[in-house]
Amino acid sequence: MNASAAVTVACSYDHTACVSPEGFLYTFGGNTDGQLGTGDQIDRNLPTQVPQLTTILYVACGWRYTICIDSDKVCWGFGNNEHGQLGIGHRHNVIMPEQAIHLPPIHSVHCGKRHTLFLSENSALWGSGKNYGLGFKAKIAGISTPRKVPVPENVVDVSCGSDFSMIVNIVGNVFACGLDSN
């Protein structure tokens, strides 16, 4: 992959993912938990194409996991899934892309250390993974099937930190959730 040809890039603790103008996903770096999506756990120093994903529009990286969105607005995840952060319905690490389940068409995806927020095309927010950054009041060990996050509709921006998230709605209200908060 020509590094100048990437249209979007995401980085995390020890790996990087890039999307080419043609929609191919390339990953490189550490692969301890399968976060490169290459079907193995071998680290790679050079960008390597993930062959199953050929129509990717957007990619995000969490701590040892990767989630991307294809042209059908479907999310695919791989890597660390200890807390269900991939949204694939179970809590086992995966080394090949698996489709996130029970989500509407997704506009963008945002990753924390152990949680993921999915912003839908209709501006609703969905989350999976460790409850810290998802905004659910109940203490839940790990959410493996995405749930709608209890914030007002019309979300326009999201950012995830390690164990917290910040959410902005269309009128500019900012919502926070994470450790030591509701």
pTM of this prediction? 0.94
Res 70: pLDDT: 99
The total number of structural domains that make up the chain: 1
- pLDDT tens for 55-92 read 999 999 999 999 999 999 999 999 999 999 999 999 99
Beta strand pairing status for 44-49 and 25-29? antiparallel
* Start-end of H helices in 1-129: none
- 3-state secondary structure at position 172: coil
In whole angstroms, how large is the CA radius of gyration of the chain? Answer: 15
Give the domain CATH number at 126: 2.130.10.30
> Where residue 177 falls among pLDDT bands split at 50, 70, 90?
confident
Q: What is the mean pLDDT of residues 147-164?
A: 91
Sheet architecture: strand order including 15-19: 8-11, 15-19, 25-29, 44-49
Domain, as residue range, for 47 = 3-178
Question: Cα 80 to chain center, whole Å?
Answer: 11
